[in-house]
Amino acid sequence: MRTQTVPQRTYRSFFTDSTYWDHYRPRPGDIVISTPPKVGTTWTQRITSVLVFQSTDLPAPLMEISPWLDCAFAPLDQALATLERQRHRRFIKTHLPMDALPIHPEVSYLVVGRDLRDAAVSAHNHAMGTSRAAEHLPPGPSGDDVHTPVHPPVSEDVREFWHGYFTRSAFPWESDGWPFNSPTRHLESWWRHRDAPNVLFLHYQEMLDDLDGQMRRVSAFLDIPVDEERWPELVAACTFSDMRAGQDRIFGEDTIGAAAASFRFFHRGHSGQWHGRVTEEDLALYRAALEPLPADLRAWLARDA
């Protein structure tokens, strides 16, 4: 992690295009927020925003300030132009694993994980929403290296969705995460580098349990001093209730913002939502998906069990 690395994998599908990162030009102090879908991505972007700006107010909607650079259905030139114009410390979203990204020593990486049973339920809600919005979105990438080129149908049955989520991926070299990329492979790609000075792991449950403390961890990691006088206001702005109430600060009118605003983007914002919704047979699929992971990563992921 102390030397620059180039991507080892190419991810191209209906929702992501890792080749967009070929156009990224890092600046010292850049922040990359790398997460599997539905584990607290927007939450972490919001936390980062109040630290960077030292304010609850933003100069533009969050999703425009902090672009999802590898989004396959959003204009790349627009995201790059946004980043080029910015003079504040930039923070960028990605759903790609580490080996699909260029890694730079002068860039800080925030990696977020969550109990994947809850992530699966939240991903079900999200995938139904994106499936309905897909017909209004521009076409994704094309070419022989594109896997799952169109958004697949999504069942309303959470158990049917769960089965796909834990047994297949949008990409043939992965084994879970359908219809997106693999959350297990994503987190494992970063886990071996978790002690690097420019990598910080955050857990969704710890953010729920102690938002103040976890925001202080992010502040220290990013070397952004805490203004104790303003701190309670900044923490309050990062609660789910505040984000739901102020969605105009989150979603813009661009392609991504309009799609996200078309359905219930913030699902429930708590843990344990899988209880009572799946069977023991379903849970066996979850355990099998996690079995190849290092034991300490499995324990870390399921800490809220």
Residue by residue, DSSP assigns 161-186 as HHHHHTT--SSTT--S-TTS--HHHH
Of the candidates 196, 193, 203, 168, the one whose C-alpha atom is nearest the C-alpha of residue 182 is 168
pLDDT tens-digit profile, the chain (305 residues): 556 789 999 999 999 999 999 999 999 999 999 999 999 999 999 999 999 999 999 999 999 999 999 999 999 999 999 999 999 999 999 999 999 999 999 999 999 999 999 999 999 999 998 888 877 788 888 999 999 999 999 999 999 999 999 999 999 999 999 999 999 999 999 999 999 999 999 999 999 999 999 999 999 999 999 899 999 999 999 998 888 876 777 877 655 555 555 545 554 556 778 887 899 999 999 999 999 999 999 999 987 54
With respect to residue 51, please indicate whether it lies within any of the assigned structural domains. yes
With respect to residue 292, please indicate whether it lies within any of the assigned structural domains. no
With respect to residue 166, please indicate whether it lies within any of the assigned structural domains. no
Residues assigned a catalytic role: 95
Q: Quick one: angle between helices 116-133 and 158-165, nearest 10?
A: 110
Q: Write the burial class of residue 262 (CB in 10 Å: 0-12 exposed, 13-18 middle, 19+ buried).
A: middle
Supply the pLDDT for residue 5: 87
Q: Characterize the bridge pairing of strands 31-34 and 91-94.
A: parallel
Supply the pLDDT for residue 270: 66
With respect to residue 2, please indicate whether it lies within any of the assigned structural domains. no
With respect to residue 232, please indicate whether it lies within any of the assigned structural domains. yes
The residues, any chain, with a CB within 8 Å of residue 156's CB and separated by 6 or more, are 128
| Whole-angstrom distance, CA of residue 45 vs CA of residue 141 | 26
With respect to residue 210, please indicate whether it lies within any of the assigned structural domains. yes
With respect to residue 239, please indicate whether it lies within any of the assigned structural domains. yes
| Domain of 29, in residue numbers | 18-115+131-151+182-267
With respect to residue 293, please indicate whether it lies within any of the assigned structural domains. no
Cβ atoms of 92 and 48 within 8 Å: the answer is: no
- Would you say the C-alpha torsion 249, 250, 256, 261 has a positive or negative sign? negative
* CATH number assigned to the domain comprising residue 88: 3.40.50.300
For 113, the enclosing helix (H) or strand (E) is: strand 108-113
Question: Number of structural domains, the chain?
Answer: 1
